[in-house]
Amino acid sequence: MSYEDGMRVRREVLGDAHVDRAQARTTEFTADFQDLITRYAWGEIWTRPGLDRRTRSCITLTALVARGQLEELAMHVRAARRNGLTTDEIKEVLLQTAIYCGVPAANAAFAVAQRVLAENPGEDAA
């Protein structure tokens, strides 16, 4: 996959506004990292045919909860909605994380997701 493929998928999943902000903040120091994530994460992994984007979003939410990456979690809750997950499906993913990642991690994730989902109420994907 090319950089262009990665950028296309990155924009489709995260939205133009987010990607434009990330690009605007890119410096000489961070340029190689931005290139890496665009080519590898978005151009190689998110474009693979083995899983659809909804499933990839569920996995990503779970991994971010498990690692306590709450800022990234907020971004990927938005992405999950863009990828077709409903509010109820996001809730189910977070309930599942309570068992496998721990109640405190899920509690923090629910707080983040509730804040993000309140930004655009009534915008369920399904």
pLDDT per position as a tens digit, 101-123: 999 999 999 999 999 999 987 66
Which residue range is the domain that position 123 belongs to? 52-126
Convert the pLDDT of each residue in 1-32 to its tens digit: 689 999 999 999 999 999 999 999 999 999 99
The pTM of the full predicted model, rounded to 2 decimals, is: 0.90
pLDDT level of residue 126 (50, 70, 90 thresholds): very low
Residues 100 and 45 occupy one common structural domain: no
Q: Please state the domain count of the chain.
A: 2
Instruction: Please give the Cα distance from 63 to 66 (Å, whole number).
Output: 5
pLDDT of residue 121: 72
First to last CA, the chain: 30
Residues 45 and 56 occupy one common structural domain: no
Residues 27 and 39 occupy one common structural domain: yes
Give the pLDDT mean for 63-91: 97
Residues 125 and 85 occupy one common structural domain: yes
For the domain that residue 108 is a member of, what is the CATH number?
1.20.1290.10
